[in-house]
Structure 1
């Protein structure tokens, strides 16, 4: 049985956790609006030439669906079962053929060498093992297949923002479902074993996770 002191001692911590989650939830809502405005043209350009079998890992709320051409065979690998019916409805309204499956970045229920394109946006920051996920992506891509990505990354070493990211990382992960603000995704991509990789850096008007990359890696 817990003492009064134990309970009272935990209340402030729980208050800060709840407050932090509310703040991050508000920021994520704002981010969604910002992303639609700032990344719309980038996504439209990145996804313009999609064809064949396309796998999006963790499509979540379906924010990318509007940018996909209607003639692709789209597979959505989504770990949140509650989002499946919503994604199907969104896809139907947009005239997309979508196959929603249960899975995540480390467990892709897809045959080897069978996918023309894999898409991720803001995924690699939160997977438990980024190297394992990248190898899974390479496994399912056809030879010559492409990996299209938009991800936030760690700020440069020694910068003030990187110091802030490193300091806040333990709390940030708790409040944002395991998102690492200081993960060096660009370096992991370079070392993954793709035949070629082309990307560019850009900034988004958000605190902590403003540095981003957008690009294409080819198997």
Structure 2
């Protein structure tokens, strides 16, 4: 069963004003294009990170919150019986996501909102999932603070993200050169963020990060891992 809720009406209030999460600006051809691109891009990307997603996502249990689920690229990796909540700011992506969640038979709730103000209560989630999200959020440090807030003690944050190349490298210089256009076309995506450093500094009890590379220009450097509340 899939529930498509609006946080300002249906979400349980939580500390910090999460119940009044603002609705992101909807519409626009770029948001529609980005949602379509995520949909067509997902299978090819998943084929290259399949083992990592199965390892990180497949054994999650209980209440699982996914930030920025996009078109539903991770839906097929969740175990049966989890209680999945997605917080997706781009309403143009919702139809793709709802169809996949329904086809998978997930016990799912889809909320429109932003990761900087997650519309769920404190310490309510057994796990939080983020894949290719921290590159594009407006305030990654606040997002990580929100992830810690909503996780139960001992809960896990699992992630796969593209990151900035080695400082001073030619690859990093190219990331910075193309960033203005990349950000515009990629719905806010910044290719040169030090996401690994931010996760390590976010106050988790334990952080395990594996760097790896993908066969893509500009966004080849990636990390995968988990952090424990």
TM-score normalised according to structure 2 size = 0.80
What's the offset of the Cα at 1:194?
Answer: 0.5
Q: Distance in 1 between matches of 2:35 and 2:61?
A: 35
Aligned twin of 1:173? 183
Q: Are 1:84 and 2:89 an aligned pair?
A: no
Q: Are 1:52 and 2:62 an aligned pair?
A: yes
Unaligned runs of at least 5 residues, structure 1: 1-17
Q: Are 1:110 and 2:120 an aligned pair?
A: yes
Q: Which moved more, 1:83-92 or 1:204-213?
A: 83-92
Over the aligned positions, Cα root-mean-square deviation in angstroms equals 2.2
**Runs (4+) off by over 2 Å:** 24-34, 80-89
Q: Distance in 2 between matches of 1:29 and 1:102?
A: 18
Aligned twin of 1:149? 159
Q: Are 1:133 and 2:143 an aligned pair?
A: yes
Aligned twin of 1:120? 130
Which of residues 42, 66, 71 in structure 2 aligns to 1:61?
Answer: 71
Please say if residues 166 and 172 of structure 2, whose CA atoms lie closer than 8 Å, have aligned partners that are also in contact. Answer: yes
SS at match of 2:61: coil
Which of residues 99, 102, 110 in structure 2 aligns to 1:100?
Answer: 110
SS at match of 1:106: helix
SS at match of 1:39: helix
Aligned twin of 1:162? 172
User: What is the CA deviation profile of residues 68-99 of structure 1, one whole-angstrom value per residue up to 9, with x for unaligned ones?
Assistant: 00110000111223433442321121121101
Aligned twin of 1:192? 202
Please say if residues 39 and 73 of structure 2, whose CA atoms lie closer than 8 Å, have aligned partners that are also in contact. Answer: no
Unaligned runs of at least 5 residues, structure 2: 1-28
SS at match of 1:143: strand
Compare relative contact order (CA 8 Å, sep 6+) and give the higher one, 1 or 2. Answer: 2
User: What is the CA deviation profile of residues 8-52 of structure 1, one whole-angstrom value per residue up to 9, with x for unaligned ones?
Assistant: xxxxxxxxxx9xxx9x99987775343121011211111121101
TM-score normalised according to structure 1 size = 0.84
Which of residues 32, 37, 41 in structure 1 aligns to 2:42?
Answer: 32
Larger radius of gyration: 1
Q: Distance in 1 between matches of 2:195 and 2:83?
A: 28
